[in-house]
Amino acid sequence: MADATHSYFDWQVSTLMLAYDVIDPLPRSDHKRINDRQTKVEQEIQELAQRVIPPAYRDHPEMEFPPAVVMLLTRATIGRAAEVMGVSKSE
């Protein structure tokens, strides 16, 4: 399951990186700014997870998340991407 967790985190990072690219595109040659943005996004995802994951799972990271927790994380990630891009629910 560790691979699935890692892949999910990669998806979250990619989703938010793309959202930030919509509002502030970075040249592919600007490795420092891309790395800085990725570090910021990874921290943002960690903070998002701390807010969204129920305490029973947050306090026991060895527990596998049920689908309901994954859905909470997915909604939060997509919701944050929409906020970053300035997309409202009605659009």
- Note the pLDDT tens digit of each residue in 65-86: 999 999 999 999 999 999 999 9
Mean pLDDT score of the chain: 92
The alpha helices in the chain, defined as continuous H runs, are 2-23, 31-52, 55-58, 67-85
Token pair of 42 as six digits: 């990874």
Structural domain contains residue 90: no
Q: What is the pLDDT of residue 2?
A: 52
* CB-CB neighbours of 15 under 10 Å: 17
The pTM score is 0.86
Structural domain contains residue 91: no
Tally of domains in the chain = 1
Q: What is the mean pLDDT of residues 41-52?
A: 97
Structural domain contains residue 67: yes
Structural domain contains residue 19: yes
Q: Which domain does 10 fall in, by range?
A: 2-85
